[in-house]
């Protein structure tokens, strides 16, 4: 099923995620945004978690609609306590790569597709779904 996620949903879910993260009382030194969808999540987490600085990592495994080999387009390694932000864990391939790159990092996403990626679980997420999520920042996805 295709679900259209709104900016209002995004705002509420990011606020809820930030509260869950705050409950764990961990001080993150940096937020790593996974481009592109993670940029939005990272920006909100930085605001809600007292302006933690943001850096980016860019991974790509898609060529159009087909998934292939994981390519690292921009890397920013760190052994600090980082919060890794993305929009969704779908197949789990990106999440596995990120966990290897940032062994002290915690992964936060809006949506987790456990049916498609049972071997990797984000540290923080709002919902477990099998739906196709269309985010408001995705270009060309209108129906």
Active site residues: 86-87, 90
**Cβ proximity of 81 and 104 under 8 Å:** yes
The two tokens of residue 115 are: 């049916």
Rounded Cα gap, residues 77 and 18, in angstroms: 24
Q: Please give the C-alpha separations between residue 55 and each of 96, 101, 126, in angstroms, as whole numbers.
A: 19, 14, 23
The two tokens of residue 3 are: 């679900």
DSSP bridge pairs for 94: none
């Amino acid at each position: 099923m295709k679900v259209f996620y709104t900016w209002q949903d995004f705002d509420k879910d990011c606020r809820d995620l930030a509260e869950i993260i705050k409950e764990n009382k961990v001080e993150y030194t940096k937020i790593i945004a996974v481009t592109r969808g993670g940029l939005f999540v990272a920006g909100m987490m930085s605001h809600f978690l007292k302006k933690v600085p943001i850096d980016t990592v860019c991974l790509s495994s898609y060529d159009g609609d087909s998934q292939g080999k994981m390519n690292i387009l921009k890397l920013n390694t760190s052994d600090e306590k980082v919060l890794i932000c993305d929009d969704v864990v779908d197949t789990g391939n990106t999440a596995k790569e990120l966990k290897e790159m940032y062994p002290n990092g915690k992964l936060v996403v809006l949506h987790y597709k456990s049916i498609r990626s049972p071997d990797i679980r984000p540290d923080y997420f709002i919902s477990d779904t099998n739906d196709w999520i269309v985010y408001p920042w995705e270009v060309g996805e209108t129906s």
